[in-house]
Structure 1
Amino acid sequence: MEKAEDLLIDTCLLAGKIMMESGSEVYRVEDTMNRIAENANEPNSNSYVTATGIFMGLKSRHYTQIENVGERNINLEKVEAVNQLSRKFAEKSVDLPTLYQQLKKIDKETPEFPLLLQILGAAFLSAFLMVLFGGDWLNFIPTLFIGGIGFFIKYEVKQNFDLRFLDTFFASFIIGMLALLFTQTGLALSFDYMCIGAVMPLVPGVAITASLRDILAGHLVSGLVRGTEAIIVAASIAIGIACILFIFGGWLP
Structure 2
Amino acid sequence: METREMIYDVMDACLLAGKIMLQSGAETYRVEDTMTRIASSLGVELTHSYVTPTGIVFSVEGTRPAMTRLIRISNRTTDLKKVMQVNDVSRRISGGSIGLEEACSQLREIERSSETYGIWTQIMAAALASGCFTIMFLGGWPDFLPSLIAGGAGYYFVAFFHRLIPVKFFAEFVGAVVVCVVSLGFISFGLGNELDKIIIGAVMPLVPGLLITNAVRDLMAGHLVSGLSKGAEAFLTAFAIGSGVAVVLSLL
TM-score, scaled relative to structure 1: 0.96
Give deviations 1:79-136, integer Å, cap 9, x for gaps.
0010001111111221102111211111111442022221111111100110111111
Equivalent in the alignment of 2:201: 197
**CA separation in 1, counterparts of 2:197 and 2:248?**
15
Report if the CA contact (8 A) 1:36-1:89 is conserved. Answer: yes
Give deviations 1:142-194, integer Å, cap 9, x for gaps.
11111111111111111111222111010000000011111111111111110
Equivalent in the alignment of 1:232: 236
The reply on whether 1:213 has 2:217 as its aligned counterpart is yes
Equivalent in the alignment of 1:84: 88
**CA separation in 2, counterparts of 1:70 and 1:125?**
29
Look up the equivalent residue of 1:26 and give its one-letter code: T
Look up the equivalent residue of 2:197 and give its one-letter code: Y
Q: CA RMSD in A?
A: 1.0
Report if the CA contact (8 A) 1:173-1:244 is conserved. Answer: yes
Q: Write the mapping of 1:18-37 to structure 2, written as runs, cut at 5 A.
A: 18-37=20-39
Equivalent in the alignment of 1:162: 166
The reply on whether 1:127 has 2:131 as its aligned counterpart is yes
The reply on whether 1:142 has 2:146 as its aligned counterpart is yes
Report if the CA contact (8 A) 1:27-1:214 is conserved. Answer: yes
Q: Write the mapping of 1:92-103 to structure 2, written as runs, cut at 5 A.
A: 92-103=96-107
The reply on whether 1:171 has 2:175 as its aligned counterpart is yes
The reply on whether 1:104 has 2:128 as its aligned counterpart is no
Report if the CA contact (8 A) 2:79-2:115 is conserved. Answer: no
Give 5+ residue unaligned stretches, structure 2.
none
The reply on whether 1:10 has 2:9 as its aligned counterpart is no
Aligned equivalent of 1:48, options 41, 47, 50: 50
Give 5+ residue unaligned stretches, structure 1.
249-253
The reply on whether 1:187 has 2:217 as its aligned counterpart is no
**CA separation in 2, counterparts of 1:8 and 1:107?**
17
Instruction: Report % sequence identity.
Output: 38
Report if the CA contact (8 A) 1:34-1:45 is conserved. Answer: yes
TM-score, scaled relative to structure 2: 0.96
Aligned equivalent of 1:75, options 67, 72, 79: 79
**Where do 4+ consecutive residues of structure 1 move more than 4 Å?**
none
**CA separation in 1, counterparts of 2:22 and 2:31?**
7
- The alignment of Structure 1 onto Structure 2 pairs a total of residues equal to 248
Look up the equivalent residue of 2:41 and give its one-letter code: N
Report if the CA contact (8 A) 1:154-1:168 is conserved. Answer: yes
Report if the CA contact (8 A) 1:120-1:148 is conserved. Answer: yes
**CA separation in 1, counterparts of 2:156 and 2:13?**
35
**CA separation in 1, counterparts of 2:54 and 2:147?**
36
Equivalent in the alignment of 1:59: 61
Look up the equivalent residue of 2:210 and give its one-letter code: V
Give 3-state SS (helix, strand or coil) of 2:251's partner: helix
